[in-house]
Amino acid sequence: MKIYINQEFCSGCGICIEFCPKKILIPSSSLSKKGVFPPVVNKIEECTECRICELYCSDFAIAVEGDNDE
Ligand code: SF4
Ligand code: SF4
């Protein structure tokens, strides 16, 4: 599986970081071109593919690609 984060769309709101039940997402230590700290993926092996991050992102900046997706 893979989690895609679009740095051009991300507003750095941190909602995905806040709501991920497994704390897979952490703030980047470097600024994006937009001047925000986008999330980065940490411990992807613990991701349950619940897609809460994708659902809550109002900027459509994060996408979860599961292993069993068509
Ligand atoms: S899919 Fe669920 S567990 Fe995985 S990063 Fe998103 S919110 Fe966290
Ligand atoms: S919820 Fe979306 S816009 Fe907010 S930090 Fe996460 S990826 Fe970026």
Q: Note the pLDDT tens digit of each residue in 5-52.
A: 999 999 999 999 999 999 999 999 999 999 999 999 999 999 999 999
Which atom of ligand 2 sits closest to the CA of residue 15?
1
For the beta carbon of residue 14, count every other beta carbon within 10 angstroms. 15
What residue numbers bound the domain in which 49 lies? 2-65
* pTM to 2 decimal places: 0.94
Asked if 40 contacts 16 with a C-beta cutoff of 8 angstroms, the reply is no
pLDDT at 68 over 90: no
What phi and psi, each to the nearest 5 degrees, are found at residue 16? Answer: -60, -40
47: in domain:
yes
Number of domains within the chain = 1
Which atom of ligand 1 sits closest to the CA of residue 62?
6
Span from the CA of 40 to the centroid of ligand 2 (angstroms): 10
10: in domain:
yes
Largest CA distance in the chain: 35
pLDDT value of position 45? 96
pLDDT at 67 over 90: no
CATH number of the domain to which 47 belongs:
3.30.70.20
Least Cα distance to 62 among 3, 1, 12 occurs for 3
Which residues are 27's β-sheet partners?
39
pLDDT at 55 over 90: yes
70: in domain:
no
* Residue nearest (by alpha carbon) to ligand 1 atom 4: 47
